[in-house]
Structure 1
């Protein structure tokens, strides 16, 4: 019996060796099996939503003929030459980018087609920050108009221009420098009749936009008549933040 002991030992070692190799091979197969690739979900990018923006509409006798006219602000896409939105529901950088890419421009049109429109400068703007009928400031029988451009930039410096209709065209009667924060913030929407575009933009104002519209309606402006060819203005002074002075319209602008 003991003579066969070496034989049994060899058999046992062989069997153990085979089991070990089989186990190692199984491990190797399991380790090298390719993993299933799971594609990560892409982050959804929200498409910017157009925001119409406010449009000014004022009335008055601008040519001095005794008849009331209406001036309406328009904002156009320079590529399509159609009325378009001023803003998007994203950041201000995107608004500026789109204003330049679309070559946007704005103008003030009169319902009396014999009165020329006022082109708002500079181009690539967001229309107007302010528009008001100032009444007859120079005594010529026609109402003057003040307007401020909503420039597509980051500066708070701006100009307050008083326009008058003379000899068939609009000219600057007087202008003065202002801070944009001197004017009320505009609502982003409003009920406006865009007659030249053949449609009416009607939206429901939320609480914030209704408050801004009320503030705009109550705002008295930065100009008040102070006598014959004289006005009182609230302007950006070189000495202090803002100042109030009485000036002559014949000077065309305050001391700078």
Structure 2
């Protein structure tokens, strides 16, 4: 019995000794792997995550020739040739700083080459916060458009611009001041435009909800007649107010 117990004890120490033995070069391997993995995680956390950002597309008879044209929003690199991500990190300050350094080009393009695209101003910007075909607001047979530029600033103040295509160029028909919170939030990671080579419609459920809200949003303008509009604007007296304005003026009294 004692001999058997002694044999078990000796065997146990031999197994432990063999299992604990390492080559000289192997001692650092587990620690090196851990350090490498930790560095990889840190690098991934620090690397800016791209967000393609929503692009608007609208159709309408903008020149009054009875045919439909299409206006497409683009956000490209400094050359204007390659479509790029609008946003990176979730932090807005970092997005603004990165936008200034990238010198991206934001513009609308019409599929009718005879029609110049309306300007997206001011620069730099993250493209558009809103774009809509408002229909024929002034009775001239052309569809008017409205848009709001996504300014790269820290202000919640903005302008809602209505433009009409007349005499071969886009002209401002009317504009009025708004708060940016009057508009729905845009999806940051939506790839819903397949013309950019992205096959996925939506990345996550948040973007799905935002897309539905955007599609159901009717805008801030309603036609009363060929000379008057009802608008929801940024009032001097209260946060937002609904009033009827005349198209002969370019903006409401502030």
Which TM-score tier does this pair reach, normalised by the shorter chain? 0.7 to 0.9
Does residue 1:201 correspond to 2:202, yes or no?
Answer: no
Does residue 1:227 correspond to 2:225, yes or no?
Answer: yes
Q: Give the equivalent residue in structure 2 for 1:158.
A: 158
> 1:167-196 CA distances to partner (integer Å, 9 max, x unpaired)?
1111111000000000001111131144xx
* RMSD, aligned CA: 1.8
Q: CA deviation at 1:72?
A: 0.5
Secondary structure of the equivalent of 1:137? coil
Q: Give the equivalent residue in structure 2 for 1:181.
A: 181
Q: CA deviation at 1:144?
A: 0.2
Structure 1 CA distance for aligned equivalents of residues 248 and 165 of structure 2: 16
Matches within 5 A, 1:77-226: 77-78=77-78, 81-188=81-188, 189-194=190-195, 199-205=196-202, 206-226=204-224
> 1:157-176 CA distances to partner (integer Å, 9 max, x unpaired)?
00000010011111111000
Q: Give the equivalent residue in structure 2 for 1:246.
A: 244
* Distance 1:154-1:225 versus aligned 2 partners, 3 A rule: same
Contact 1:105/1:120, CA 8 A, preserved across alignment: no
Q: Give the equivalent residue in structure 1 for 2:69.
A: 69
Q: Show structure 2 runs of 5+ residues with no match.
A: 1-30
* Distance 1:88-1:184 versus aligned 2 partners, 3 A rule: same
Structure 2 CA distance for aligned equivalents of residues 77 and 84 of structure 1: 6
Output the TM-score relative to the length of structure 2: 0.80
> 1:186-213 CA distances to partner (integer Å, 9 max, x unpaired)?
111131144xxxx432324221111100
> 1:99-121 CA distances to partner (integer Å, 9 max, x unpaired)?
11111221111111110012211
Contact 2:80/2:105, CA 8 A, preserved across alignment: no
Matches within 5 A, 1:12-23: none
Runs (4+) of structure 1 exceeding 3 A deviation are none
Name which one, 1 or 2, has greater alpha-carbon Rg.
1
Contact 2:129/2:149, CA 8 A, preserved across alignment: yes
The total of aligned residue pairs comes to 215
